[in-house]
C-alpha cells in the first residue's frame, strides 16, 4: 500500500498502537518485530481486541481483510510519520544531548504551551520507533511540536533528523553518556552534532548555550542561531542567581524561582526561557511556566520521607550527570548528608576507570557517608560501604540505622532502580 493511501486510513484512525496489551477500539496496529517477539503473530488478536486495521509484513498473517500488507512494518511507520510531518503545518523543535533532554523538553513545552498549541514527546519515546510515534501525534491544529531525540551510536541522530526534518534544534550538552556505543567522548560530540549538521545544511534555526565552547565552535559563524549566555553580550543574557538547592535565574531584571534542584538544571531552564523569548511568549508567562514546573519520574525529585530530605535522581546516570549531582549536593546546606550511588551503564572499556573517579570525587568533596551499589562500584578501591547487589543493601539497612534529619542523594542508572531505596528508609 502506498504511504499516501495509508495516511488516509491513519487520519480516520489516528491512534497508533504497537502493543496488543494496550489496544483501544479503533486503533491502528503496527506489527513491529522485536528481538524476542514477532508482532505479525499478534495481528489477528489486535483486530479481535478492537483495532481497526493491522499493518503486517508477513503474507501468512493477512488472514483478515483488515490486515494491510507492507514490505517492512518499521520502515512503513517511519515513512508514514515523515509524510504526516509534512501534511501538518506544525513547526518542529528537535533536541538531543547527553543529559537533561527530557527535563528540557518538558520545560520548553510548559513555556510554549502558554501561547501555542503544542505537543511533545511522551516520556522518553525518543528512538527510531519513538520519534515516528511522536510525529504521528501531531494534530492539524498543532502549532509547535517538541521532539526529543536519543541516541547511543553515531548516525542515529542524523537518521532521526531525516524523519522529523526539524525547523529548530537544540543540544543540551555533550557528556560521558553511552560511551560504549559512541566510541568515547569525541564520538559523543560527533554523534550529537549530527543535529547541528542537519540544521546548518538546511538553513534552519539553531538554539544554543553560547557558554558551551563546543556548541559555540560547532555553530561557528552560522547566522541563523539564537543563544543564551551569562557573559557574552552578543547573546540573550540569562544569569544563575543561586542553586541551593533550587535553581533561581535572572532575566531582564526579573528573577525566576524554579522547583528544580542543582546548578545543572540552570541550562535546562535557560533553554526554555530562550525559546519562549524567540517565540514571543510574554516574560511573565515564561516565569509562570518555569516556576510551576515540578519534576517527576525519578528526575531530581525532592521527597520528604520519615524525617529524611531525599533528592531522588534515579532515572539515569552517567559520569557527567553524576559529577554534576555530587557537586550540587556538596554545595547544599544540610546537617547530615548521605549518598546512595548506583552503577552507571554503557561505558564500555572506561567502566572501571569512571566508577573509580566517582568514588574518588566523593572522597575529595568530603562526603563521609557514601553507600555504593552495583558490581561496578563494588570493584572500586575505596573505604566507602559497597554492595554488589541491591539485596545486600536491603539486609544492611535492616540492621543499620541512618542518621535522622539527614539529606539523602539517590542516583544511579535506570537499570539499578534505586528508587527502591525509598522503601528501605
Q: What is the pLDDT of residue 152?
A: 82
Q: In whole numbers, what is the pLDDT of the chain averaged over residues?
A: 93
How does residue 408 score in pLDDT terms, banded at 50, 70 and 90?
very high
Nearest CA-CA partner of 87 in 140, 131, 128, 129:
140
Lowest mean pLDDT among 29-33, 91-95, 252-256, 313-317: 313-317
pLDDT attached to residue 399: 86
Cβ atoms of residues 103 and 297 within 8 Å: no
Q: What is the pLDDT of residue 53?
A: 97
Q: How confident is the model at residue 177 (pLDDT cuts 50, 70, 90)?
A: confident
Per-residue pLDDT, 196: 96
Placement of cell 525566576 in the chain: 256
Is the pLDDT confidence value at 166 over 90? yes
- pLDDT value of residue 413: 93
Inform me whether the pLDDT recorded for 424 exceeds 80. Answer: yes
Q: What is the pLDDT of residue 301?
A: 83
User: How would you classify residue 297: left for phi > 0, otherwise alpha for psi between -120 and 50, otherwise beta?
Assistant: left
Q: How many CA atoms lie within 13 A of 235 on its CB side?
A: 25
pLDDT confidence tier of residue 366, bands split at 50, 70 and 90: very high
Q: Is the pLDDT of residue 327 over 80?
A: yes
Q: Between these two residues, 423 and 375, which has the higher pLDDT value?
A: 375
Percent of the chain with pLDDT over 70: 100
Task: Determine the pLDDT at residue 411.
Answer: 95
Q: Cell match 572506561: residue?
A: 350
pLDDT, residue 260, reads: 92
Q: Is the pLDDT reported for residue 233 higher than 80?
A: yes
- Give me the domains of the chain, ranges plus CATH numbers: 3-72 (3.40.1390.10), 88-292 (3.40.1190.10), 301-424 (3.90.190.20)
pLDDT (average), residues 52-71: 95
Helix (H, G, I), strand (E, B) or coil at 213: helix
112 pLDDT tier (thresholds 50, 70, 90): very high
Burial class (CB in 10 A: 0-12, 13-18, 19+), 373: buried
Contact assessment for residue 26 and residue 52, using Cβ atoms and an 8 Å cutoff: yes
Reported confidence tier of residue 254, pLDDT bands at 50, 70, 90? very high
Task: Note the pLDDT of residue 185.
Answer: 83
What is the C-alpha separation between 383 and 392, in angstroms, rounded?
Answer: 17
For residue 198, give the 3-state DSSP assignment.
helix
The number of beta carbons lying within 10 Å of the beta carbon of residue 47 is 21
pLDDT band, very low/low/confident/very high, at 179 (cuts 50, 70, 90): confident
Q: State residue 187's pLDDT score.
A: 85
- Predicted pLDDT at 389: 95
| pLDDT of the residue at 420 | 94
Banded model confidence at residue 35, pLDDT cuts 50, 70, 90: confident
Amino acid at each position: 500500500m502506498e504511504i499516501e493511501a495509508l495516511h488516509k486510513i491513519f487520519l480516520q484512525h489516528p491512534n497508533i498502537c504497537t502493543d496488543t496489551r494496550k489496544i483501544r477500539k479503533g486503533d491502528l496496529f503496527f506489527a513491529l518485530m522485536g528481538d524476542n517477539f514477532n508482532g505479525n503473530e499478534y495481528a489477528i488478536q489486535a483486530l479481535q481486541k478492537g483495532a481497526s486495521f493491522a499493518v503486517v509484513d508477513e503474507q501468512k498473517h493477512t488472514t483478515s481483510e483488515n490486515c494491510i500488507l507492507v514490505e517492512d512494518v518499521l520502515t512503513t511507520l517511519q515513512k508514514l510519520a515523515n509524510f504526516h510531518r509534512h501534511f501538518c503545518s506544525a513547526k518542529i523543535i528537535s533536541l538531543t544531548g547527553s543529559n537533561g533532554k527530557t527535563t528540557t523538553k518538558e520545560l520548553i513545552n510548559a513555556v510554549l504551551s502558554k501561547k501555542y498549541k503544542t505537543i511533545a514527546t511522551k516520556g522518553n519515546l525518543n528512538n527510531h520507533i519513538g520519534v515516528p510515534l511522536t510525529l504521528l501525534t501531531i494534530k492539524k491544529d498543532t502549532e509547535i511540536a517538541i521532539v526529543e531525540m536519543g541516541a547511543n551510536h553515531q548516525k542515529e541522530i542524523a537518521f532521526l533528523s531525516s524523519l522529523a526534518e526539524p525547523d529548530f534544534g537544540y543540544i543540551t550538552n555533550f557528556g560521558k553518556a553511552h560511551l560504549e556505543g559512541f566510541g568515547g567522548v569525541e564520538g559523543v560530540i560527533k554523534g550529537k552534532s549530527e543535529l547541528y549538521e542537519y540544521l546548518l545544511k538546511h538553513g534552519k534555526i539553531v538554539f544554543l548555550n553560547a557558554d558551551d565552547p563546543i556548541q559555540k565552535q560547532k555553530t561557528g559563524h552560522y547566522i541563523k542561531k539564537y543563544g543564551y549566555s551569562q557573559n557574552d553580550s552578543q547573546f540573550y543574557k540569562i544569569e544563575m542567581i543561586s542553586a541551593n538547592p533550587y535553581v533561581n535565574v535572572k532575566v531582564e531584571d526579573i528573577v525566576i524561582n524554579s522547583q528544580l534542584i542543582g546548578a545543572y538544571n540552570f541550562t535546562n531552564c535557560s533553554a526554555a526561557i530562550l525559546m519562549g523569548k524567540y517565540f514571543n511568549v510574554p516574560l511573565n508567562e515564561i516565569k509562570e511556566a518555569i516556576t510551576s514546573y515540578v519534576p517527576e519520574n525519578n528526575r531530581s525529585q525532592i521527597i520528604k520521607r520519615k524525617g529524611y530530605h531525599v533528592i531522588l535522581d534515579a532515572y539515569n546516570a552517567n559520569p557527567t550527570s553524576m559529577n554534576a549531582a555530587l557537586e550540587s549536593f556538596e554545595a547544599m546546606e544540610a546537617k547530615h548528608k548521605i549518598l546512595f550511588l548506583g552503577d552507571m551503564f554503557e561505558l564500555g572499556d572506561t567502566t572501571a576507570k569512571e566508577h573509580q573517579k566517582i568514588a574518588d570525587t566523593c572522597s575529595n568533596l568530603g562526603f563521609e557517608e557514601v553507600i555504593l551499589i552495583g558490581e561496578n562500584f563494588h570493584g572500586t578501591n575505596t573505604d566507602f560501604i559497597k554492595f554488589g547487589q541491591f539485596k545486600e543493601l536491603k539486609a544492611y539497612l535492616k540492621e543499620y540505622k541512618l542518621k535522622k534529619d539527614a539529606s539523602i542523594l539517590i542516583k544511579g542508572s535506570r537499570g539499578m532502580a534505586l528508587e527502591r531505596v525509598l522503601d528501605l528508609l
